[in-house]
Amino acid sequence: MTPSFLIGNTAVVGLQWGDEGKGKIVDFLSEHADVVVRYCGGANAGHSVKIGGKKYATHLLPVGVFRPDVVSIVGNGVVLDPEVLLREIDEFLGYGIPISPANLKVSYKAHVVMPWHKAEDEAREIAAGAGSIGTTKRGIGPCYADKMHRTTAIRVADLTDENRLWERIERICSDRNKVFKALYDAPPLDARPIFELYRGYGRRLAPYIDDSTKLLMDAARDHKRVLFEGAHAVMLDVDHGTYPYVTSSNCSALGLFTGSGVPPQYVQNFLGIVKAYSTRVGGGPFTTEQDNEIGQYIRERGNEYGTTTRRPRRCGWFDAMAVKYAVDLCGITQVCVTLLDVLSGLERLQICTGYKYRGSRLDYFRADMEVLGEVEPIYETLPAWRGNITGCRRFEELPPEAQTYVKRIETLIGAPVKMVSVGPERTATLIR
């Protein structure tokens, strides 16, 4: 049965710094979906899903692929690394997960991550030294930059037109070689082998290439249920996140309309996913960070190591000030709190309810590095609980302290918590 609060089309969006467990929730909800769409980011994302004791990680494939009857769409807003996508398809086919052009569609408008994007990402990070962003080095920023430059971009549709592909690759390589030599003293790129490789990718991808807008309009006409799978999260959104320590896409809910090609009224539910605490990977201000034994406890219990890079994630208390902003920005209609089980066993819990800035209390979150670098968290302390809660299947079965903690979050962020996840398995999901 579809949870009654999710009738219609639903966007699943991370409200913190990513890694909120969106993969598990999208997988859980996709049981009631016909179509699952990724709309932003690229192979920098990592969604992990545990099904029947086996753990799977996807970077580009929408999580819908775990259900053969669901059509998974890689939308135009994604920057697609064909090497990664094809490797994931092969890997999952090897596990017996049926992926074919019948259930996987790739937008012809999506932009392609090329070898020079990865080289530039790495070179820029090294050159930035202490000011680096801490990117995943998957070429994401440079690929989106070329999308805006236009003359140096390659789209999925270009992969299947060999003349056009060669013309573009040859011209872009010659342009990049001058820039890379001047800026990074890098060795030149050879256009021919790159062309051969990407022509091969184009041939393999061709049967999957489609038009996401048309597919989604057809889905609406046929009364299909669509799930939008957010990647990353609001605080990493290039416009609204903690700029410049963000990724290069509009990965809040606002990016889904341009990133998949549908109008705003296409989506009825905006399900925000939050961890019961906070984590962040890479650089940037992190007001509630606990660089101490509490952070270490959370990191080990929550296995807080990057799905894509295996970097240890920075861990801290729940930041209601930041999440309230994310809820407002995305028009969140329901919330799912994940990883509540990770907090079991702590002495006490803290929630950040506001920020102090230069002696006064800020009245609203401000996505400005200079301000965030200076603010001090204002905490409220709540009682914690002991014992394992992973076996709970109803909200009322949770220890009273855990229920109080969730209800307090709900009040502070101003959106109803309708789901609570207490373990990695599909079944460890409580509906309220």
Q: What is the 3-state secondary structure (H, E, C) of 319-356?
A: EHHHHHHHHHHHCCCEEEEECHHHHCCCCEEEEEEEEE
Q: Helix (H) and strand (E) counts for the chain?
A: 13, 20
CB of 46 to ligand IMP, least distance (A): 6
Nearest to 228 by CA among 414, 29, 431, 388: 29
Q: What angle do CA 22, 317, 287 make, to 5 degrees?
A: 100
Among residues 168 and 240, whose Cβ is nearest to ligand IMP?
240
Are the C-beta atoms of 312 and 282 separated by less than 8 Å?
no
Tell me if residue 111 is catalytic. Answer: no
CA 384 and chain centroid, separation: 29
314 vs 432 by CB, closer to ligand IMP: 314
Give phi and psi for 201, each to the nearest 5.
-60, -40
Shortest reach from residue 53's CB to ligand IMP, in Å: 24
| Smallest separation, CB 310 to ligand IMP (Å) | 12
Q: Which is nearer to ligand IMP, 322 or 349 (CB)?
A: 322
**Smallest distance, Å, CB 203 to ligand IMP?**
28
CA 23 to chain centre: 9
Residues engaged in binding ligand IMP (CB under 6 A): 17-19, 44-46, 133-136, 138, 140-141, 231-232, 236, 245, 247-248, 281-282
What residues does 314 pair with on adjacent strands? 280
19 in catalytic set: yes
For ligand IMP, the closer of residues 251 and 343 by Cβ is: 251
Which CB, 44 or 334, lies closer to ligand IMP? 44
Catalytic member of 27, 47, 121, 237: 47
- Ranked by CB distance to ligand IMP, the top (closest) residue is 282
Q: Name the minimum Å distance from CB 22 to ligand IMP.
A: 9
What count of residues does the chain have? 432
Task: Please list the active-site residues.
Answer: 19, 47
